[in-house]
Each structure stands twice: as C-alpha cells, then as structure tokens.
Structure 1
Amino acid sequence: MSSIQTISQEILAGAFSATIFGDDAIFGPLALSGSPVRFSSVSPMNATLFYQGVAAEAPHPAAARLFSEWAQSHAGQEAMTEATGGSSVMAGWTEDRGFASELPWYQRPEKVWLDWQTDPTLTGPGLAEFVERWDQTVRGAS
C-alpha cells in the first residue's frame, strides 16, 4: 500500500478490516457519505507539525512573509483546515468539519502529542529500537 487513499479504498472494499494508517480527515467524509466505516483516535494522538519558511532570495519577500503570517492566523487556519479536511491545535480554533457534528459516535482525540518529533526515545538508538519493534509487530500481523 502506498498511500492513505489506497488504504482507505481497500478498507471500504473489505480487503482489510482495520488499519492504523488513517485519520479523521480521510475517514470522516467517507463515513458521512454512508461508507461502512468507523474510526477512532488514540489519546494522545500524534500530530504532524507543518513548518513554513521564506526563501532568502524570494522574488517577493514581503508577499511571502504576509502569506506566512496569514497562515498562522485564525483565518489562515480556518482556510487551510477547510481545504485539507484536517484540524488545528491553535487555541480558539473551532471544529466545524461536517462529520464531526453529524456522526454521533465521533470524538476528537482528548490529547494531542506535539512533541513526538523531539522525544529522545525516538531518536538515535531509541529510534532504532522502536523501528525494530514496529517491524516485528507489523511482520507478525501480516
């Protein structure tokens, strides 16, 4: 499987009964449209952090900086979460994705883990050990 879209289609087709690869941005709209799928998040749920930068030699550095500042604003977060179907951990962001209010069983993760990328147990030797345990778990399940 090469992508979450492929995995979600395999789940819907019945090729798999479960996956650990997926998120509410993919499965929420599918469930809302009537697809026979349910999902839940573990807590804490790891979150993907997105970074922005402005190139030193940007042809329009002021415009690039304005975009970056807008993207970090509430209006920017609202626009990007609407475009991607994702969610935001920005203080004050309001959940307004249709499936979140229309699927009575849906619950957002209680806690979001933002520091996983800097967790010392997931770097150096700790990462190698984690990957080995992961590989054993996945190989054992297949």
Structure 2
Amino acid sequence: MVSQVVEASAEVTDFSHIAMMVQSIERLLKASDQLQERLKLLQVKGDLLDSVFGPEGSDSLQGELSAAIRNRELLHAQLLQRKSRLQGLISRTKDFGDAHEQIRSKLAALRDQLMAADGLQPDILAKKSQSDQFRVSLIPD
C-alpha cells in the first residue's frame, strides 16, 4: 500500500487530491508505527521463536524479521519525505491563493478609484497627482 500511495502521490497537482494523499500518508505512518512496535516485540521474543521453530527455523525467521524491519524503515522514511513534499505544495497553494486574493482586492480598489476619478485632469500637476495616487494604490503591503 505504501508503494502505491508514494507512486500515486508523485504527480498529484490538484489541491483536493493532495490533501487526500496527505491523509492517506498519515494513516499509513500510524500503521507503520504500530507495525514497528509489533516487529520489535517479535525481535525481543527471539528465545520463544527458538522454542517453537528450533534454532535453524528461528535464525531464518530472525533474518526475515530483520529484513522486514529495514524495509519498514525505508518505506516509513519515503512516506515522511512525501508527506513533507505534499504539505509544502499545500502551503504554496495557500500562499498563491492569498496573493491572488490580495491582487484582486487591489485591482477592485483601483477600479473604484478610476471610476471615482473626475475624468481627465486639465493640467499636468493634477494629472501627476492622480497618477501618484494610483501608484500608491498598487504598492504591495
């Protein structure tokens, strides 16, 4: 499941899909933590494996257990990296949305100023004053 989620989240760009992927990753990370506890418990109970499977069977199982632990650690690290990347995308998307709203607000204010302006100004000083007022409106906060 981890490999599928990591692969599926590699090219996701839609904000709603990104959020869903982060939720899936968080569930998998939680399951990974639970699995880690179970695997550690098995590792600690090596003597029990000896009594059930014998020394050779126990050694084989311990080898498989060690490989499973390394694989879980690798997949867990991949999930953490992907979660971080996706959360970064979410943050940038939100920042973009905020900036977009600020621009829309400034443009609306400028449009209102233009509408309220008394049309063409008769002399150069009045035109410069009006131009300066418009520039101040466009300066970022």
TM-score (norm 1): 0.29
Structure showing the higher helix proportion among its residues: 2
Q: Which has the larger radius of gyration?
A: 2
- TM-score, L = length of structure 2: 0.29
Greater relative contact order, per chain length (Cα 8 Å cut-off, separation 6+): 2
